[in-house]
Amino acid sequence: MPGPKGLPFIGQALDLFKNANNPNAYFTELANQYGDFVKIKLLNNKMVILSDPKAVRELARGEEGRLTLHASRHYKLEKGMIRVTMDYFNHENWNDIRQVLNIPLKPQYFNEVILPQLTELNNELLKSFVNTLKFDENSKQYYFADPMYDIMSQFAFSAVIKVFLGVKVTEKELIEKLGFTVRQYIKDAVDTTDLILKLQYQPGLYKYGYKTKDYKDFEELSDISFGRGFKLVDLLSDRYDGKIPRLKELVEERAKMAGFLSEATTTVLSAFMIGGVDVTARMMTTLLYRIAHEKEWAQKLYEETAQVFGEPTADELTMDSVIPVRNSRLLTKDTILGAYKLEKGTQVLFLDVPSVQSKYVPRGIEFLPERHIKGSEISEPKDYLGPFGTGARKCPGERVATNEIYFALIALVRHFKLTHSNGNEFPPFSVEKSMYYMDPTKYRVFFTPRDHLLPYFK
């Protein structure tokens, strides 16, 4: 299989280390240079970067192996905590806890729980837009200093709390009763994840009783994050009025059926709070820039939502041509794929990057929502996995996230006109961050309130 020549023992580990902040760009460069199948080696780990959508689909269907997060596994075993899916080895029984995580994916809970709970948050989102927007005297425009942290992550956090605990949580309440802000919560959770990934590629000395500084930092941050999750569930449990069902009882019931202790609910909730806030907030922030950039499309969407409020017809999340997505498998057996034999233990990374895949998607690097209309000539191949992955371990938060994003989209286009500060070019993602992130200090989104909102801005 083609691939760069690396050093005999460590392979491409140094290159990856140099590109650690933005591995996507490195993987994309390799895919552009070597093709749809690229072999690399990172210390003892074999990795394949796969860009052919058909091969991706074939492998994704038959293989459910994932990376085990070794440090997280060790931490939870040592503390006697319940583990979630990614803390298990592939040969262990990860499926029982995954069934508990699957609760938000059940179609019946969409209408009974997710939609009504999120509907109650809708006004809050608009209110927080109005309260948080700042006015720039020079350009005479409204903007958020940092849309991801100031607005979108707050909304994503509130949405997860609302669907699972059935309560509206305010920043003031968090600070007064629990002593942290949403921003701190997310920062610590993201730092914990970053450390887990860093430790993944270091020798696991903690397994032999020696804890490095990175491991100790990870341990300390995990104590903080889990502690906050437990306190939050405690604090908010009494505030629930029971009028609309919430997911907590359903999670509890499923956990009990599978024989887990009662604390499984809080552990699962913590996994949702960590998995469901940062990535969704990044998606929604990218969406702001997209609406600001595609003025015609935003106007069309505005008109459509005006006709059929609540039923937006453009499907934002399937426009994966704007966001590079990564998903992977860890092979649990030797596997033949295309012309290659891949060894058990190889990590196969699915690369979904428009510049590499334009040969598979007609006009793939253009933003064309029409491609998602049934029968469209420019549609992408059915083999695409989409942003949430596929199979038994796909994202369990898909329904929550999709609907949160619809709500945000509707609220945005109905109440504001958006523009951005990068002229005719769509602002690039920041290369300093591994996940899609627009730097608000470089590229600003401006909000012009529509006429009916003007009184609130005087």
Binding site for ligand HEM (CB under 6 A): 66, 85-86, 98, 101, 104, 160, 271-272, 275-276, 279-280, 283, 327, 387-389, 393-397, 400-401
Give the whole-angstrom CA distance, residue 361 versus residue 352: 11
Q: How far is the CB of 65 from ligand HEM (least distance, A)?
A: 10
Annotated binding residue 395:
yes
Closer by beta carbon to ligand HEM, 13 or else 408: 408
Contacts 24+ apart (CB under 8 A), 224-227: 224/188, 225/185, 225/188, 225/189, 225/192, 225/270, 225/274, 226/81, 226/267, 226/270
Minimum CB separation of residue 456 from ligand HEM in Å reads: 29
Quote the least distance from Cβ 390 to ligand HEM, whole Å: 7
Distance in Å, CB of 91 to ligand HEM, minimum: 16
What count of Cα atoms within 13 Å lies in the side-chain half-sphere of residue 241?
5
- Sheet harboring 416-420: ordered strands across? 134-136, 141-143, 445-449, 416-420
User: Which residue number, 3 or 65, has a Cβ lying nearer to ligand HEM?
Assistant: 65
Distance CA 315, CA 373 (A): 9
| Residue closest to ligand HEM, measured at CB | 397
Closest CA to 357 of 378, 380, 374, 375: 380
Q: How near is the Cβ of 162 to ligand HEM at its closest, in Å?
A: 11
Find out whether 423 and 430 touch, Cβ atoms under 8 Å: no
Q: Which is nearer to ligand HEM, 41 or 393 (CB)?
A: 393
- Which of 200/421 has CB closer to ligand HEM? 200
Give the nearer residue to ligand HEM in terms of CB position, either 130 or 244.
Answer: 244
What residue spans of 276-397 are helical by DSSP H?
A: 278-293, 295-307, 354-357
Query: Residues marked as binding?
Result: 395
Query: Residues marked as binding for heme?
Result: 395
